[in-house]
Amino acid sequence: MDEKLSKVDPKLLDLLVCPLTKGRLSFSRDTNELISESARLAYPIRDGIPIMLISEARKIED
């Protein structure tokens, strides 16, 4: 998984926002996802590319 992480440009991650709420995202190294706490969604990163589609996001359950 670390190989894929190294392909994601940290500057790109700083620019991305949640497409639903336009809020900040945090990176989860454990799941290799971008997390939107306000939307309770986790956006996957596949082959170093963040998939910023609401339809592809995983709902975060409590």
Give the 3-state secondary structure of the chain. Answer: CHHHHHHCCHHHHHHCCCCCCCCCCEEECCCCEEEECCCCEEEEEECCEECCCHHHCEECCC
> Which structural domains are found in the chain, ordered by start?
2-59 (2.20.25.10)
pLDDT(2) > 90 = no
- The pLDDT value given to residue 7: 62
Residue 42: Cβ within 10 Å count? 18
- The pLDDT value given to residue 44: 96
Q: What is the pLDDT of residues 3-58, one digit of tens each?
A: 444 467 778 888 999 999 999 999 998 999 999 999 999 999 998 889 999 999 99
